[in-house]
Amino acid sequence: MNERAYSVLEYNRVKEDVAKFAMTEEGKEQILALLPSINKRQLQAQLAEVTEAVAILEKSASVPLSGLSGMSVLMKQLHKGTALKVDTLSKLLGFLDSCAKLKRFMKDKQHLAPRVSLYVDAIDDLSVIADEIVRCIRNGRVDDYASKELLKIRRQLETHEQKLKEKLQQIVKSSKYKAYLQESTISERNGRYAVAVKKEYKSKVKGSILDTSASGSTLYIEPEEASSIQDLIDLQKAMEEVEVERILFSLTALVEENEPSLKGSIETMIHYDVLFAKGKHSQFINGREVAINEESRVLLKGARHPLLGDGAVPLTVEIGTNYRNLVITGPNTGGKTVTIKTVGLLVMMVQSGLHVPVNEGSEVAIFKQILVDIGDGQSIEQSLSTFSSHLTNIIEILKEANEYTLVLVDELGSGTDPSEGMGLATAILHQLAKKGVTMLATTHYSEIKEFADATEGFRNGSMEFDIHTLKPTYRLLIGKGGESQAFAIALKLGLHPKIIEEAHRITYREEKEYPLGSTENQRELDKQIIVNRHAHQKTAKPQQATATIFVQGDNVRITQSDEFGIVYSGPDSFGNYVVQVKEEKRTYNHKRLKLYISRDELYPDDYDFSIVFDSKENRKKERLISRKYVEGLVIERDEEE
Predicted pLDDT at 382: 43
Window from 201-215, 301-315, 483-497, 586-600 with minimum mean pLDDT: 483-497
Predicted pLDDT at 641: 45
- The model's pLDDT over 8-53, given as tens digits with 9 standing for 90+, comes to 999 999 999 999 999 888 899 999 999 999 999 999 999 999 999 9
Window from 66-80, 497-511, 552-566, 567-581 with minimum mean pLDDT: 497-511
Q: What percent of the chain has a predicted confidence (pLDDT) above 90?
A: 44
Nearest to 602 by CA among 612, 593, 592: 612
pLDDT bracket for residue 344 (50, 70, 90): very high
pTM for this entry? 0.69
Predicted pLDDT at 383: 41
Q: For residue 368, what is the DSSP state?
A: S
Residue 486 corresponds to which amino acid?
A
Torsion over CA: 405, 354, 45, 260 (sign): positive
- Over 90: is that where the pLDDT of 250 sits? yes
CA dist 475 and 160 (Å) reads 86
Average pLDDT over residues 612-626: 64
**Residues 6 or more apart from 195 whose CB is under 8 A from it?**
168, 171, 172, 177, 181, 186, 187, 205, 220, 221, 223
Highest mean pLDDT of the ranges 5-9, 107-111, 588-592: 5-9
For residues 623 and 66, the model is more confident at 66
Nearest to 368 by CA among 404, 409, 396, 325: 404
Window from 487-491, 540-544, 615-619 with minimum mean pLDDT: 540-544
For residues 9 and 378, the model is more confident at 9
- The model's pLDDT over 391-426, given as tens digits with 9 standing for 90+, comes to 888 889 999 999 999 999 988 877 666 677 788 888
Beta strands in 8-162 (DSSP E): 137-138, 141-142
CA dist 142 and 146 (Å) reads 7
For residues 537 and 316, the model is more confident at 316
Provide the angle, in degrees to the nearest 10, between the axes of the packed helices 224-257 and 148-173: 160
Using CA atoms, how far residue 169 sits from 165, 187, 196, 221, 472, in Å, is 6, 11, 12, 14, 91
Checking phi first, is residue 539 left (phi over 0); if not, alpha (psi -120 to 50) or beta?
alpha
Predicted pLDDT at 640: 46
Radius of gyration of the chain (CA): 44
- What is the β-pairing status of strands 137-138 and 471-478? unpaired
- Over 90: is that where the pLDDT of 234 sits? no
CA dist 610 and 620 (Å) reads 11
Coil vs helix vs strand at 456: coil
Predicted pLDDT at 639: 46
Predicted pLDDT at 543: 47
Using CA atoms, how far residue 374 sits from 6, 180, 181, 342, 545, in Å, is 12, 88, 85, 12, 48
